[in-house]
Amino acid sequence: MQMQDYVRKVDSLSSEDTLFQIPLRKEYLLKQIGHGRRVLDVGCLGGKISHLIREQNNEVWGVEINEAAARAAEKRQIRIKVANVEDGLPFEDDFFDFIHAGEILEHLYDTKHFFEECWRVLRPQGVFIFTTPNLNSLENRVRILSGRYLAMAGAYPEDHFGEHVRIFNFEKVHELCWQAGFSVEEIRGIPILQPKGRMVDFSFSLMGRVFPKWSKLLMVKARKEMED
pLDDT digits (tens, 9 = 90+) for 72-131: 999 999 999 999 999 999 999 999 999 999 989 998 999 999 999 999 999 999 999 999
199-216 average pLDDT score: 66
Identify the residue with better confidence: 42 or 154: 42
- Per domain, the residue ranges of the chain are 3-224
CA dist., res. 70 & res. 55, Å (int): 19
CA dist., res. 118 & res. 98, Å (int): 10
Are the CB atoms for 178 and 166 separated by under 8 Å? no
Architecture of domain 3-224: 3-Layer(aba) Sandwich (3.40)
Identify the residue with better confidence: 158 or 166: 166
CA dist., res. 64 & res. 73, Å (int): 9
197-214 average pLDDT score: 61
Tell me what pLDDT residue 7 has. Answer: 56
Tell me what pLDDT residue 9 has. Answer: 56
179-205 average pLDDT score: 70
Tell me what pLDDT residue 207 has. Answer: 60
pLDDT of residue 211 exceeding 90, the answer is no
pLDDT of residue 33 exceeding 60, the answer is yes
pLDDT of residue 196 exceeding 60, the answer is no
Weakest mean pLDDT among 88-92, 139-143, 146-150, 188-192: 188-192
Q: Quote the mean pLDDT of the chain.
A: 86
Buried residues in 42-76 as b, exposed as e (16+ CB within 10 A): bbbbbbbbbbbbbeeebebbbbbbbeebbebbbeb
pLDDT of residue 2 exceeding 60, the answer is no
Which pTM does this prediction carry? 0.87
pLDDT of residue 205 exceeding 60, the answer is no
- Start-to-end CA distance of the chain, whole Å, equals 42
pLDDT of residue 150 exceeding 70, the answer is yes
Are β-strands 182-190 and 79-82 bridged in parallel, bridged antiparallel, or unpaired? unpaired
> Which SS3 state, helix, strand or coil, does residue 97 take?
strand
Q: What is the 3-state secondary structure (H, E, C) of 24-61?
A: CHHHHHHHHHCCCCEEEEECCCCCHHHHHHHHCCCEEE
Q: Phi-psi bin for 94: left (phi > 0), alpha (psi -120 to 50), beta?
A: left
Local confidence band at 57 (pLDDT 50, 70, 90 cut-offs): very high
